[in-house]
Amino acid sequence: MNIEEINSLIEEIEKDKVKAALERKKREKIRRRKEKERNQKIAWYQISSFLGFSFFSIVCSIFLLIKNYEENKNVFSNREVVIDADKVDDICDDLEEELGISIPEEENEDYLVLSAIQKNSHLSKEEKEDCYGIIPIIEDNPYLNKENAYQSLKELCIKHMNRPKGTENEVLGEYLFFDYQINIYDEDIKKTTFFHELTHCIYGSMDHLINLPRFLKEGMTELLTCEYFFEDTYYKPSTYFGEVLATKMLCEVVGENTVLESFSTGNMNPIYQRLATLSNSTTKEAKENIDKLDDLLDKRFNTPQKNHDIWYDFIDVSVYFDKCIKKNFEFYNYYVYYLDDYFLHDYIDIWEISNKVYFNQELKQKIGTPGIVVGMATSMDKNQKQFVKNKKVST
Ligand SMILES: [Zn+2]
């Protein structure tokens, strides 16, 4: 976006602020009038009941109360163009006080996202309401390119269609970066595919597309979708089980903020630099190991049987991450074990041992505990491995 475009954007938002304030005043007026009418009617019926029509008037009063309540609810529902009515109230209150003057910065950001979605001419009302769920992801992320996110949400369109020929059955939906378009190929009752693609949508930039390893792009997208849209540390089953696990590993090693920075900016250097410092090696070596990990996770779709080269790669990657952080050694052993098994087309149900919240600040407070990442994997012997093996679920 150039300066001119940004300026015209700000101008549009200013206009919207004034419009929203006037709208709210109008609604407030209607609400007060209706309240007054309701009170008058109630008073009238109370008097009549006092005069002897008690039973009849009580019934009438209740009827009117319900009727008026419904009417008021409808008046209020006009405001529910956003996901959280309290938040809108706050914004509107500020607008009323400072008509024409800029609203506080932290709310400005919300308003920016809101107005982007509201201005979108391709989305239905219901789709827009679903899109409002993206606001906290944007709020919690200091590294995100807000203009990109704004533009993508403003232009976004959603298409439900048959899977195109040549697209693998595992692909449930796609986000087409250049068209700002989400394609949904399967029935999506819980909207898991839609929310995943919507999360892709706000991170769309060329750097993001080109520079990031595939596992990080999908793992982070899935992890954010789970934390923010489903209030879950990991919503399963998912196509991206291994990718999410690898992303969580990386968060444990370099810190979730570093991972969020690289993911949001499309620049892997913060992760490489941190890995290099931790392992006392070079950023080149860090990159090689991340690439190897990405390759391993990618191969799991195409390699039905375990083969030795892949196994040696596992060991290499594991040893490297072991160098980066000693205390999580067992976790990586476990991870290697899990991947090894994955090649035999089995899943091991280990998600409960990695239920840590990384990004959703509200969920972090709600869950209260930091979660256990290493847990069961510590000093696992043969019998324990057998126990874990028995827990696996075939899909
Ligand atoms: Zn994806």
Residue whose C-alpha is closest to residue 43's, from 67, 60, 24:
60
Question: Which pLDDT score, from 0 to 100, does residue 19 have?
Answer: 60
Q: Is residue 298 within a helix (H) or strand (E), and if so which, with residue range?
A: helix 283-299
Digitized pLDDT (tens) for each residue of the chain, 395 residues in all: 555 665 565 566 556 655 665 565 556 656 666 666 666 665 555 555 555 544 544 444 444 444 444 333 322 222 222 234 455 455 445 544 544 556 666 666 667 788 889 889 999 999 999 999 999 999 899 999 888 888 899 999 999 999 888 887 778 899 999 999 999 998 888 898 999 999 999 997 888 888 999 999 999 999 999 999 998 877 565 678 778 878 887 887 888 999 999 999 999 999 999 999 988 889 999 999 999 888 877 776 555 455 556 656 666 776 777 677 654 445 544 454 444 444 333 333 343 345 678 999 999 888 765 554 432 332 334 444 444 444 333 22
CA of 28 to the centre of ligand 1 (A): 43
Task: Identify any residues that bridge with 183 across adjacent strands, giving them in sequence order.
Answer: 159, 174
Q: How far apart are CA 62 and CA 259, in angstroms?
A: 58
Distance 196 CA to ligand 1 centre (A): 6
User: 197 CA to middle of ligand 1, Å?
Assistant: 6
Instruction: Residue 72: name the closest of 109, 100, 42, 31 by CA.
Output: 31
222 Cα to the center of ligand 1, angstroms: 7
Sign of CA dihedral 268, 358, 221, 155: negative
Any residues with CB less than 8 A from the CB of 339 and at least 6 apart, and which?
242, 296, 297, 300, 314
First to last CA, the chain: 46
CB 305 within 8 A of CB 343: yes
| 175 SS3 class | strand
- Burial code of 28-60, b = ≥16 C-beta within 10 A, e = fewer? eeeeeeeeeebeebeeebeebbeeeeeeebeeb
Token output for 391: 């827990």
Q: Model-level pTM?
A: 0.65
Q: Ligand 1 centre and the CA of 200: distance in Å?
A: 7
Q: Determine the distance separating the centroid of ligand 1 and the alpha carbon of 171, expressed in angstroms.
A: 9
Q: Ligand 1 center to residue 272 CA distance, Å?
A: 23
* CA gap 336, 327 in Å, rounded: 16
Q: Which residues of 229-248 are buried (b: 16+ CB within 10 A; e: fewer)?
A: beebbbbeebbbbbbbbbbb
Question: What is the per-residue pLDDT for 81?
Answer: 27
Distance from the CA of 233 to the center of ligand 1, in angstroms? 17
219 alpha carbon to ligand 1 midpoint, in Å?
8
Helix axes 241-254, 283-299, angle to 10 degrees: 160
Classify the phi-psi angles of 280: left when phi > 0, otherwise alpha if psi is within -120 to 50, otherwise beta. Answer: left
Token pair belonging to 118? 């509201």
Distance in Å, CA 214 to ligand 1 centroid: 9
For the chain, the domains span: 3-119, 123-131+142-204, 206-390
Which one, of 291, 179, 55, lies nearest residue 63 by Cα? 55
Q: Which residue has the tokens 């029935």?
A: 187
Question: How far is the centre of ligand 1, averaged over its atoms, from the C-alpha of 74 (Å)?
Answer: 38
The rounded Å distance from CA 217 to ligand 1 centre is 7
Query: What distance in angstroms lies between residue 46's CA and the mean position of ligand 1's atoms?
Result: 62
Centre of ligand 1 from the C-alpha of residue 262, in Å: 17
Find residue 173's DSSP bridge partners. 184
Q: Say how far apart CA 93 and CA 140 lie, in whole Å.
A: 23
- Cα 144 to ligand 1 centre (Å): 18
